[in-house]
Structure 1
Amino acid sequence: MQTWTQMKDIQPLAAQMLMNSFKKDRISHAYLFQGNRGTGKREMSILFAKSIFCKNKEGAEPCQSCRDCHRIDSGNHPDLHWIEPEGQSIKKEQILHLQKEFTYTGLESNRKVYIIVDAEKMTVNASNRLLKFLEEPSQQTTAMLLTESGPTILDTIRSRCQLLAFQPLNPLRVQEKLVEEGVSESNARLLSSLTNNLTEALEMNEDEWFANVRKLVIQLIEVLQNKPNEGLLFINHQWMPHFKERTQLQRGLDVLMLWFQDVINQLLDREESIIFTTERENLNQAAMRWSRQSAARSLTDILEAKRKINQNVHPNLVMEQLTLQLQR
C-alpha cells in the first residue's frame, strides 16, 4: 500500500504534480510516466487511479479501505483497464479492444481510466490506433502510459500527454526502503550500492544465487589472503561454476569491487561508507594485506576485467589473470 506522503519521499516532483492536479481539479486526459524500472511508476499509477475513483478521499489521499480502493488493489475494478505486452509487444488488437470497452458507459460512474505498461513496446499499428484515441479525448477518461524509454514513444503521442519524469532513486533512500521491506541492514547496504532499482534489489534479495555471490566473494578474499597458491584452483572449481553467464560474472565482479572499496574505506576510517558491516574481521585482515595503493590498483584491475568480459574475452582467462593480479 502506498500513500501520497510515501510517494513524495520516492518521487517528490512527480507526486507533487499529480497531487496538485487534484487540488486544482485539473486532471489531464493523458500522462506519460517515464523512468527506469523500479522507480515507482506502477505504484504511482495505482495510487493515482485510487485517488480518481475513491469516494472517501481527503484531498488527493484515497482512503485505502473502501470498495473502490480494494478492487483497484486486486485488479478487479470494472472501470480501470490495464494493457500490458502480449509476448514481446502491445498489439493493435489490444488497443481496439480498449476502444470498444470505452464506448460503453462506466459501470459505476462515467469515469474511466486505462494504464498502458511498457508503452514503448506498442507496435506501429498499435501506436497509430492509440493516437486516434488520444486525439478525441473524453473529459471522463484518463490515460497513463508507463515507459522506460520515453524517446521511443511517437512524438505525436508524447505531445498529447503530460510528461512526468521519474528520477533514479537515491541510494540511501533505496537502502531505507529495503529495510522497511524486511531486508537486513547489511544486505540493504550491499543491494543499494549495486542498484538504485528498488524492484531489482528486492528480487536480488530473494535470489539464492545472489546470496551465494556474497559468500563466494568473501571466500575468494580469504583464499587470496591465507592460501594464495590455491587462488586459481578456487576460481576454476568454485567461482566459475557459479557464474555461468557473462552477466552473472559482471555481477560477481561488481560485488568484488565493493569489497576493495571497503578496504580503502577501512584504511581511511570512513566508517559510515563501509558496506560489508558484518565482515569486520575479514576487513581488518584485508586492510593489513592490501595497502590503499594496492587496493586502488585492484579496483583498476577489476574494472579492466569487466571491460574484457564485455569484449567477449574468455571468462576463465579473464578471471585467472585477475586472480594473479590480486595476489600481487
Structure 2
Amino acid sequence: MIKKVEVIEMFKKAIEKNRLSHLYLLSGLKGSGKKTLAYNVASVLLNTDFLELKEKGHINLFYLEPSGYTLKTSQIEELQQEFYKTSLVDGYRVYIIDEIEKLTLKAANQLLKFLEEPVSKVSVGFLLTQNKEKVIDTILSRSQVINLAAPLEKDLKEKLLKVGVSLEMAELFPYLDKNIDNLLKMKDNPGFQTLIACFNDYLKALINEENMWLFAQDNLLEIKYDKQLLGYFLQLLLVFYLDLYYYKDNKESQITAFYQYYQAYQINFLEIKTQLKNIQELIKMLNYNVNIDLAFNNYILDL
C-alpha cells in the first residue's frame, strides 16, 4: 500500500517523462482517495484547476459510475461513442470509471473491446475499485494496478476531536468511512445521531439480557428499513465484537466508549467468534440484496 501523496509525485514524473500508461486501476478502501487522485492527475493532464474540474468537468473528461447497482453496457457504449468523436480540444482525453467491479458481464466485454482498440494515443483511463478481487482478470491484466492506503482510524479520530466532535463519534465514525469530509458531514446528520443512539441502546439491552426480538421491533425499525443505516449498524456491531475480543484477550482495545459494555458483557471467545461470523454473513447478504430483513430477524432471534 502506498500513500496518495507518493502516487501523485509518481504520476507527475511519468507525465514529465511521457511514460504514462493508457490504463490504471486504483484500488483502495473508501476514503483512500481514489477519485481525488484520478481527478488530480486529470487536472494536470488537462491543464486545468483541480476544483474547477471536479465542479464543472471538462470537454475531454468522461466520468462513469454505476447506474443503480451495476455498470451497464449502455454506459460503456456511451463512453466508446464519446471517444470515437474528434475532440474539439487538443491534448489528453481522460475517462474515470468508478466501482469498476460492478460491471455486468456484457458491459465488461464491451469495455474490453474498447481497451483493445484504443482510439487515441493520448487517452488515459482510471478504473476505481474498493474490491480488486471482484475485478475480472482480463481487465486487471490490462491495467497498471495501484493500491492506495486508507487513513488510519486513530488519525481520523484526532482530526474529528480537533473540530469538536464527541469522543464517542470520533472513535466510531472512522470505522464507517475513511473520508474526513464525509465524516464531518456525519456528525450533523440526524440519521447518524439516531444510529449511535440506537446502537448504544442495543448494547445495553443485550448486556441486560432483555428480549432482543421485542427490543428490535420497538427500537430498530428506523434502522432495519434503511439499507445504508443498517449497513452502518452491522459495521459498528462487527467493530464492537472485534474490539471486545482484543479487550478480553488482554490486548489494547481501540474504543474507550465501549469499555463500560466490555466489563459487563458475559461472553466467551467462542461466542464472540460466532457473532463475528454471523455479522459478516449479514453484511454479505446486504451487499448482494438478499432478503436482509428476514436474515436480520433470524440473527436477533438467535441472540
Question: Offset of 1:105 from its aligned partner?
Answer: 3.2
Give the Cα separation in 2 of the matches to 1:104 and 1:295: 64
Change (3 A) 1:188 1:142: same
Q: How does 1:1-328 map to 2 (within 5 A)?
A: 10-54=3-47, 64=49, 69-137=50-118, 138-176=120-158, 178=160, 183-192=165-174, 194-195=175-176, 197-198=178-179, 202=183, 205=187, 208-216=190-198, 218-219=200-201, 231-232=209-210, 235=212, 238=215, 240-244=217-221, 245=224, 250-251=234-235, 253-254=237-238, 257=241, 273-276=254-257, 283=260, 290=263, 297=267, 301-307=271-277, 310=281, 314-319=298-303
Question: Offset of 1:20 from its aligned partner?
Answer: 3.0
Helix, strand or coil: the match of 1:157? helix
Change (3 A) 1:264 1:216: farther
- Structure with larger RCO (C-alpha < 8 A, sep 6+): 2
Give the Cα separation in 2 of the matches to 1:263 and 1:155: 40
State the AA in 2 paired with 1:314: N
TM-score, normalising length from structure 1? 0.65
State the AA in 2 paired with 1:50: S
Would the aligned equivalents of 1:29 and 1:143 in 2 still touch at CA under 8 Å? yes
Helix, strand or coil: the match of 1:232? coil
Structure 2 gap segments, 5+ residues each = 225-229, 283-294
- For residues 86-121 of structure 1, the C-alpha deviation after alignment (integer angstroms, 9 at most, x for no partner) is 333333333333222223333332321111122222
Between structure 1 and structure 2, the one with the greater Rg is 1
Give the Cα separation in 1 of the matches to 2:220 and 2:181: 19
Helix, strand or coil: the match of 2:95? strand
Would the aligned equivalents of 1:120 and 1:153 in 2 still touch at CA under 8 Å? yes
Give the Cα separation in 1 of the matches to 2:46 and 2:164: 31
Helix, strand or coil: the match of 2:210? helix
Identity %: 26
Would the aligned equivalents of 1:38 and 1:200 in 2 still touch at CA under 8 Å? no
Change (3 A) 1:28 1:258: closer
Deviates more, 1:143-152 or 1:237-246: 237-246
Structure 1 gap segments, 5+ residues each = 1-7, 56-63, 320-328
Would the aligned equivalents of 2:99 and 2:128 in 1 still touch at CA under 8 Å? yes
Change (3 A) 1:103 1:207: same
C-alpha RMSD of matched pairs (Å): 4.2
Give the Cα separation in 2 of the matches to 1:176 and 1:106: 46
- For residues 186-222 of structure 1, the C-alpha deviation after alignment (integer angstroms, 9 at most, x for no partner) is 4122223x34643897376455444334335555677
Helix, strand or coil: the match of 1:175? helix
Deviates more, 1:95-104 or 1:201-210: 201-210
TM-score, normalising length from structure 2? 0.69
Change (3 A) 1:122 1:249: closer
Give the Cα separation in 2 of the matches to 1:34 and 1:13: 15
